[in-house]
Structure 1
């Protein structure tokens, strides 16, 4: 591929990645308005209904290493399309749910797996096209999550009022099929010669951008992802076996790396607390006597502010040469402090202000992705990011469920927000250990 052509097309990849983020994580932030409907429909405890959202985002993250393997073997175009189909099927299945268990399976499991797979594929596409200005690029991509969260929350509330929550889920399921299109457009037109448009054919269809591929003696292209299979005289696929061994070695190396372990623990505490306000703030506002329209604005304003923060913070890091890992710790600490203080806010204006400021500092996603690329290197990004989002999934499983349990035993949402705030502040505090972790890593043989 010519350098000029690749330079131009990478911005198109950025646009499709942003739209994918909008349709995946953006829709995930609409859980609050459906949470209210499900509490009214199903006679279950807060903790049981809250676990639906935890499963959804938890599954989306927990299978990170599996997404890495899938993308390695079939390419991010097919993986992204498969994710979009699974996500749509999850929404459609959820619309026919008659109990919480069915919602856990369709909305939680199937939809979560789909949007996680689709988003991971686009993350790999961004990693292939962008090496410099990583913090700013990640902020631009995840900007879509905030815009999508705002728009789809308001849309979901509107659809629920007209078609009930079942009809709203059906319509959103149809919208998510656009992910199939976005995935198919995530390659350069100059690579059409090596893109297999026939999905029934064997081999990987999408290339990692490489320059001046040359023909090898076996008739394949050196550096072309299509040449992912090499059969020896015993009928064994040597290249795929070698890729699997390399992947395992990289995983083992990562878990011996103190810097990666520090990032992993920081992410665990971050995601135990991060999602709790998105799930419980709308219901908490409703119990305070705030009307449904205002509740929707409170929930969606957090997502809108998040989109602003995910642009403003990375831009600030780029302008003032601030390392994204330090910005990550500071933003988590501020978001945690605001959440711990939020039980003091009882009016609609106060809750709206909390939602806005919490959303603005909820910028961990672009900053941790940029931190992983800078601290661990672009070669390890795919496998490292796969494990990091798996750890996010553990936190997302724990957080909403435990917060719902605390609400049930104390009969107040205040304890849930104290708990979430403490976890976020712990995540921020762990970042101060970066220099020590790097010191241990440099001493390692």
Structure 2
């Protein structure tokens, strides 16, 4: 008997309104990542103003980065439930409030709560839905679209490092935060453009909800509704499955309710079923049963330990080595410039059939590790800016490919939850990465150990991806 098409799927044309989504996501990334990755300029001023240790002061940036990503699973669930627009608008308002509150800061602890916790929460609500919406609107050109969207991060890094420096010179750091609060609020306007893909009705799907319920009653209780266990396509590389729509979710909820009623009539406890449903609303439980998922998450965790070090600590390292504050700002701005170019290049490269995106990620991480570890030998401004430019190019490629590889491995239909899970692990790592780098400085009196450790962490992340690839290859041969 032919399978009934009880659902609709997005009309993913890889173009049209999808490019409006890309532009909106670009500017959301411009604001969020631009402000996050220019915090190193602000930290230099805070070190002078509050006269606290580096480990304590840089914790502000670490909390912001950590919270921004740590809320990933919750944001993924909220995005599924309320849509991208509502979540992004709420995030813009929350982050704006956090920036305004930070202008009244009287201590580092105050800033950890207002700038780190509150603004970081808002940024997480803005950043994650924008990335999810781009993935939902594109299939064949997904890597290119994602690459263009995340270019906002690179452009924002360049612009906000220069802008923050100029604003601090003119209005002090308090006035700068107030002006940046207004910029952050513009994310609410951008969020209004994040419409979901249009549902395209399939043949034979003109029934109403009552018909669906009747058909659901006749279905076998043995059918599996989990995308991960229902189709092996969700685990194959370069998966082209499209995202499920609200109508498909309705069918899932109807059928799930039927199963719960049948279990109750049989005298079976539904507590475990309710617990699983609750967990699935935030996480995708079957993802956590896949060892390959854990390898990917641990690789991302290790990557994040090293990722924020150059962004947040290079300005202070440059000043410690005798460079000016404006030269320090240009070092982080150069990361943004090369980062932008990289995301377009790797976006085009990742869509080529001859390119294995997983291998490309491994190469990127390996090169980032070697260059970061050796960067301690570069003491002049000219040599240091060569490293920062190379670093920006490499990590830009990683950010562009990471989300796409995630969809390749575990299916695009659960990208909101898998992306949220990834952000959670990155958030946990983000809490300890920069303070650990500052602590190494407090212990040794210089940043050499901080950057060498960061280089090693990049290499470990590459090794974990290599193990993941080997495991995936073995699974396909079985």
Asked if Structure 1 and Structure 2 have the same fold, meaning a TM-score greater than 0.5 normalized by the shorter chain, the answer is: yes
Is residue 92–residue 187 contact of structure 2 (8 Å, CA) maintained in 1? yes
C-alpha separation in 2, matches of 1:135 and 1:288? 39
Gap runs ≥5 in structure 2:
1-8, 213-244, 262-273
Under a length normalisation based on structure 1, what TM-score does the superposition of the two structures give? Answer: 0.87
Is residue 160–residue 167 contact of structure 1 (8 Å, CA) maintained in 2? yes
Is residue 257–residue 441 contact of structure 1 (8 Å, CA) maintained in 2? no
1:115: how far off?
0.8
1:258: how far off?
2.3
1:252: how far off?
2.3
C-alpha separation in 1, matches of 2:169 and 2:356? 45
CA deviations on 1:333-370 (whole Å, 9 max, x unpaired) are 11111110111111111111111111111122221101
Under a length normalisation based on structure 2, what TM-score does the superposition of the two structures give? Answer: 0.81
Is residue 11–residue 198 contact of structure 2 (8 Å, CA) maintained in 1? no
Is residue 77–residue 416 contact of structure 2 (8 Å, CA) maintained in 1? no
Is residue 368–residue 394 contact of structure 2 (8 Å, CA) maintained in 1? yes
Report the equivalent of 1:132.
140
SS of the residue corresponding to residue 198 of structure 2 reads coil
1:42 aligns with 2:75: no
> Which of the residues 308, 312, 320 maps onto 1:279?
312
> Which of the residues 344, 348, 355 maps onto 1:315?
348
Report the equivalent of 1:62.
70
1:56: how far off?
0.5
1:301 aligns with 2:334: yes
What count of residue pairs does the alignment treat as equivalent? 421
> Which of the residues 390, 398, 408 maps onto 1:357?
390
Q: CA RMSD in A?
A: 3.0
1:371 aligns with 2:379: no
Gap runs ≥5 in structure 1:
188-206
1:383 aligns with 2:417: yes
Report the equivalent of 1:257.
290
1:82 aligns with 2:90: yes
1:112 aligns with 2:120: yes
1:160: how far off?
0.4
> Which of the residues 26, 32, 40 maps onto 2:34?
26
SS of the residue corresponding to residue 275 of structure 1 reads helix
1:43: how far off?
1.7
1:250: how far off?
6.2
CA deviations on 1:291-312 (whole Å, 9 max, x unpaired) are 1221111121111111111111
SS of the residue corresponding to residue 289 of structure 1 reads coil
C-alpha separation in 1, matches of 2:286 and 2:250? 27
Report the equivalent of 1:338.
371
C-alpha separation in 1, matches of 2:52 and 2:193? 43
Is residue 103–residue 177 contact of structure 2 (8 Å, CA) maintained in 1? yes
Is residue 12–residue 138 contact of structure 2 (8 Å, CA) maintained in 1? no
1:429: how far off?
2.1
- Rg comparison, structure with higher value: 2
> Which of the residues 388, 395, 399 maps onto 2:433?
399
